[in-house]
Amino acid sequence: MTKKDMQFKPVTHVLFDMDGLLLDSERLYTVVIEEIAGKYGKIYTWEMKSKLMGRIGREAAAALVETVGLPITPEEYIYQSQEIFRRVFPSCEVMPGAEKLVRHLKSKKIPIAVATSSSEETFKLKTTNHREFFKIFDHIVFGSSDPEVKNGKPAPDIFLICASRFPDKPAPENCLVFEDAPNGVTAALAAGMQVVMVPDPRMDELNRSRATFCVDRLENFKPEVFGLPPYDSAAT
C-alpha cells in the first residue's frame, strides 16, 4: 500500500457482491451459458461476459440473448438455464480470502451484508455447501427476486436498499462495497459509496480504474486502508 492508499474515507459498514467475489459462481455461469450457446452454434466471449455481469432476472436474460445472438426468447433461455443451474451450482466454492475477511469484520462488530443480483432460488443452489458461512451476514438482498429492487446493476438500487436495511441506516458515504464486475462498480459509485474491485485477471485497465481501489485478490485487501479494524497479527 502506498501513502496515497491511506487517503480513502473511513467507512463503518461493508456490502459484498456475491458472484465472482464471495463465490466462484461466475465461472459456473460461463459454463452454463457456453452450454446453451453451443447448442445454437454461438460463442460466448469474455468481452460479452464483462458487459453483462451484474444484471438481474429477465433483464439479464434479454441482454444475453441479444448479445450472444441466440434464436430463442429470454423466457426460453431462463427455462434452459434453470435446468443446468440445478446441476452445476451446488459445486460452488468460496473465493480465496473471502471467509477470512468476512469473519474478521464480524468479529470486530462491523455491520456486513450481501447485495447479490441472484434470485433467492439460485442463491440457495449456490450456497448448498456454504449455509453456515452466509449466516454470518446481517442480511442479504436478492436483486432478481426482491420486489424493492426495481433496477439491476449498473443502477444503484440494490446497494441503496441493502444499506437501508441495516438498523442504523448508514449514509452511503459510510458504506464500502466489494465488487468484481464493472456494472457493480458503476452501481456502487452511483449509490455514493466507495468500492473495492477484485476483478477477473482478464479485466481491462479502463474498467479497473473506475473503482475507488483495486486488489488482485480479496485476501490481499488490508481493512485499515478504509479505516476498518486491521487483521490481528496472528491472522496475517
For this structure, is 19 an active site residue? Answer: yes
Answer yes or no: is pLDDT of 41 > 70: yes
* Per-residue pLDDT tens over the stretch 167-222: 999 999 999 999 999 999 999 999 999 999 999 888 888 888 999 999 999 999 99
Q: One of 17, 146, 157, 180 is an active-site residue; which one?
A: 17
pLDDT score at 212: 97
Query: Global pTM?
Result: 0.86
pLDDT score at 2: 40
Higher pLDDT, 90 or 51: 90
For this structure, is 138 an active site residue? Answer: no
For the chain, the domains span 8-24+92-227, 26-90
In order, the DSSP letters of 205-223 are HHHHHTSSEE-SSGGG--G
pLDDT score at 203: 83
The CATH class for the domain spanning 26-90 reads: mainly alpha
Q: Does domain 8-24+92-227 have CATH number 3.40.50.1000?
A: yes
58: confidence class by pLDDT, cuts 50, 70, 90: confident
Residues 136 and 131: their CA atoms lie apart, in Å, by 9
Q: One of 5, 19, 180, 232 is an active-site residue; which one?
A: 19
